[in-house]
A and B are shown apart, each in its own frame.
Chain A
Amino acid sequence: MNNSTPIIRVRNLVKKFGDFVANDHLTFDVFSGEIFGFLGANGAGKTTAIRILCGLSKPTSGEISVAGFNIYNQTEQIKRSIGYMSQKFSLYEDLTIAENIRFYGGIYGLKRKEIKTQTAILLEKLGMNDYRDQLIRDLPLGWRQKLAFSVAIFHNPKIVFLDEPTSGVDPITRRQFWNLIYEAAHNGITVFVTTHYMDEAEYCDRISMMVDGQIVALDSPGKLIQTYNAANMNEVFLKLARSSLTEVKA
């Protein structure tokens, strides 16, 4: 799955808001086709970093390239090569399934015919063919999230960023969702994902753990569990995040 070319290359990424250092010298690579888990406590600086990688905000300093493009002056190209989905914003609730797909296909410049055939394939795969004219707001959350993910990779991006995609989704749908992620990765799309479900962290090929703006651990889940002598990722997370808290207090 991993080949050696990094599709996201981050060197010494620093982002400051006044005196507050949100990202403190982040350095990491994400390889093509891998599922990369980006974990950390609330306020650790994950969202800030994702915004920078998506070209939505500029870092204070650091060398960053995404899909081979420079984050400082090639944001347009970056935006064309990535997909994005978050728990908060995904689809327009007052549009139907088909309308949402057509809209997103349209903004990425897909041709009418292409959108039509792709939509048919997609709805068939998700089993939503009979519901194509339903409004999004009438769909259960799990369906929406699955659809939102499919829309995010509809234009076949090189990388897809997922910000807490499964919050509040039922356990079965959550797993169906991860099947979609696996499939996307299998087809060569790099997946960059944040989550609060620690079992989901274990689905990733590699995980980075952020605490107070710094990456304190980065490895495969199996190795991390071994290194920190833990039973699962939840324990690893608690150990890492807690140790930082005690440091602050002391």
Chain B
Amino acid sequence: MISILAEQIGKSYQHIHALENVSFQVGKGELFGFIGPDGSGKTTLFRILTTLIVPDSGSVTVENLDVLKEYKKLRTMLGYMPGKFSLYPDLTVEENLEFYASIFDTTIQENYHLIRDIYVQIEPFKNRLAGKLSGGMKQKLALSCAMIHKPTVLVLDEPTTGVDAVSRVEFWEMLKKLKSEGVTIVVSTPYMEEAGLCDRVALMQFGKIMKIAPPQQVIDEYRRNLFSVKAENTYKLIEDLQRFPETGSAFPFGQSVHFTPKSPAFFPQMLIDFLLQNDHQNPDVHSIEPGIEDCFMELMTESPDAGDLSKI
């Protein structure tokens, strides 16, 4: 069963191509992630899905309803959480929730079971003004508000941006629970490591989808040999790797550097010798499995648009 069907969407603002030829499908009850940095077109895409803006070309249906012609009916079925948390800072937690329930002609009591797990965490603060909540709590309240009318499709635009790692993990646990209730969830995030929590992901850059696949498949299809390189002085290591003739790419990852060689003939000892010659103590080079972020960077560097300002 298909919940969202998008075909060849295009959208431009003056000289900027916000979206180019974007096509994808989301199944009913699927947790579908759009992964990409700011400016990759996620927000524009989500506004089209939620009937807020009209694409220049292409067609989109959500739950078999056309986002252009049948927007009125569709709007009763959508739950939407925009990038800015869209709460009223001068209303209390409870008043915000009550308000969003009332405009969908429902009450908190009626659908309380849907949001209970999330809402109990902020309920002790229900008389506090929403503007005085911490980022993590705002995000939970915003999700509660988006869910209170029992939407069929939930569209969440960067719900975890700027939220600390703990709240982020909790948030994804909540999404898993909502998914088990049968809600279709479309979510975007700039944090690559969150991709693994989705059923399928679309990797986006420069208004285009570079790849759509389940996260594991994205990793399986990584074609390069990837090595983790460690040395005492990371700054010097990066500098020296730029001069190493075999270097295809070298990006810092935490305390190590992820390194891909130019030719398949590369073997780790070549690099260890090179690093020893350059006064590095105890260099360590070993082969590793890629993460989503490695895959994203591979796709990015292959993209013909990479580094071309006029395309952005």
Asked if A and B touch directly (CB within 8 angstroms), the answer is: yes
- Chain A residues contacting B169 (CB-CB under 8 Å) are 238
Query: Does B312 sit at the interface, judged by CB under 8 A?
Result: yes
Query: Does B165 sit at the interface, judged by CB under 8 A?
Result: yes
* Interface locus among A52-60, A75-83, A136-144: A136-144
**New A-B pairs, 5, CB < 8 Å, besides A42-B162, A142-B37, A186-B235:** A41-B165, A170-B36, A171-B293, A172-B306, A241-B166
Q: Which residue of A lies closest to B312 (CB)?
A: A140
Whether the pair B161, A168 counts as a contact (CB closer than 8 A) is: yes
Whether the pair B165, A196 counts as a contact (CB closer than 8 A) is: yes
Whether the pair A172, B300 counts as a contact (CB closer than 8 A) is: yes
Taken together as a complex, chains A and B put the C-alpha atoms of A199 and B134 apart, in Å, by 23
Query: Does B163 sit at the interface, judged by CB under 8 A?
Result: yes
Q: How far, in Å, is A45 (CB) from chain B's closest CB?
A: 11
Q: Give the contacting residue for B296; candidates A139, A171, A232, A237; CB below 8 A.
A: A171
Whether the pair A221, B255 counts as a contact (CB closer than 8 A) is: yes
Q: Which residue of B lies closest to A40 (CB)?
A: B164
- Chain B residues contacting A238 (CB-CB under 8 Å) are 165-166, 169
**Chain A contacts with B in 7-63, Cβ cutoff 8 A:** 40-44
Question: Using a Cβ–Cβ cut-off of 8 Å, how many residues does chain B contribute to the interface with A?
Answer: 38
- Chain A residues contacting B301 (CB-CB under 8 Å) are 172
Whether the pair B39, A141 counts as a contact (CB closer than 8 A) is: yes
Whether the pair A179, B38 counts as a contact (CB closer than 8 A) is: no
Query: Does A203 sit at the interface, judged by CB under 8 A?
Result: yes
Whether the pair A139, B309 counts as a contact (CB closer than 8 A) is: yes
Taken together as a complex, chains A and B put the C-alpha atoms of A146 and B161 apart, in Å, by 20
Query: Does B304 sit at the interface, judged by CB under 8 A?
Result: no
Taken together as a complex, chains A and B put the C-alpha atoms of A29 and B21 apart, in Å, by 53
Most buried by B among A175, A186, A198, A202: A175
Query: Does B192 sit at the interface, judged by CB under 8 A?
Result: yes
Q: Which residue of A lies closest to B292 (CB)?
A: A171
Query: Does B205 sit at the interface, judged by CB under 8 A?
Result: yes
- Chain B residues contacting A245 (CB-CB under 8 Å) are 166
- Chain A residues contacting B171 (CB-CB under 8 Å) are none
Whether the pair A168, B165 counts as a contact (CB closer than 8 A) is: no
Whether the pair B252, A175 counts as a contact (CB closer than 8 A) is: yes
Whether the pair B190, A168 counts as a contact (CB closer than 8 A) is: yes
Compute the total of residue contacts between A and B using a CB distance below 8 Å. Answer: 102
Q: Which residue of B lies closest to A200 (CB)?
A: B254
With contacts A171-B192, A199-B254 taken as known, whether A42 is within 8 angstroms of B164 at the C-beta atoms is yes
Taken together as a complex, chains A and B put the C-alpha atoms of A179 and B235 apart, in Å, by 8
Whether the pair B166, A172 counts as a contact (CB closer than 8 A) is: no
Q: Give the contacting residue for B165; candidates A141, A171, A185, A198; CB below 8 A.
A: A198
With contacts A140-B39, A171-B293 taken as known, whether A41 is within 8 angstroms of B166 at the C-beta atoms is yes
- Chain A residues contacting B40 (CB-CB under 8 Å) are 170
- Chain A residues contacting B39 (CB-CB under 8 Å) are 140-141
Whether the pair B238, A179 counts as a contact (CB closer than 8 A) is: yes
Taken together as a complex, chains A and B put the C-alpha atoms of A141 and B312 apart, in Å, by 10
**Chain A contacts with B in 103-134, Cβ cutoff 8 A:** 131
Query: Does A70 sit at the interface, judged by CB under 8 A?
Result: no
Query: Does B225 sit at the interface, judged by CB under 8 A?
Result: no
- Chain A residues contacting B106 (CB-CB under 8 Å) are none
Q: Which residue of A lies closest to B162 (CB)?
A: A167
Scoring A residues 166 to 204 as 1 if CB is less than 8 Å from chain B, else 0, what string do you get? 011111110100110011011000000000111100110
Taken together as a complex, chains A and B put the C-alpha atoms of A40 and B163 apart, in Å, by 11
Q: How far, in Å, is B300 (CB) from chain A's closest CB?
A: 6
- Chain B residues contacting A87 (CB-CB under 8 Å) are 162
Query: Does A68 sit at the interface, judged by CB under 8 A?
Result: no
Query: Does A234 sit at the interface, judged by CB under 8 A?
Result: yes
Q: Which residue of A lies closest to B38 (CB)?
A: A168
- Chain A residues contacting B167 (CB-CB under 8 Å) are 41-42
Most buried by A among B158, B190, B293: B190
Q: How far, in Å, is B304 (CB) from chain A's closest CB?
A: 15
Whether the pair B37, A171 counts as a contact (CB closer than 8 A) is: yes
Q: Which residue of B lies closest to A182 (CB)?
A: B235
Q: How far, in Å, is B15 (CB) from chain A's closest CB?
A: 9
Whether the pair A42, B163 counts as a contact (CB closer than 8 A) is: yes
Query: Does B253 sit at the interface, judged by CB under 8 A?
Result: yes
- Chain B residues contacting A42 (CB-CB under 8 Å) are 134-136, 162-164, 167
- Chain B residues contacting A41 (CB-CB under 8 Å) are 134, 136, 164-167
Query: Does B247 sit at the interface, judged by CB under 8 A?
Result: no
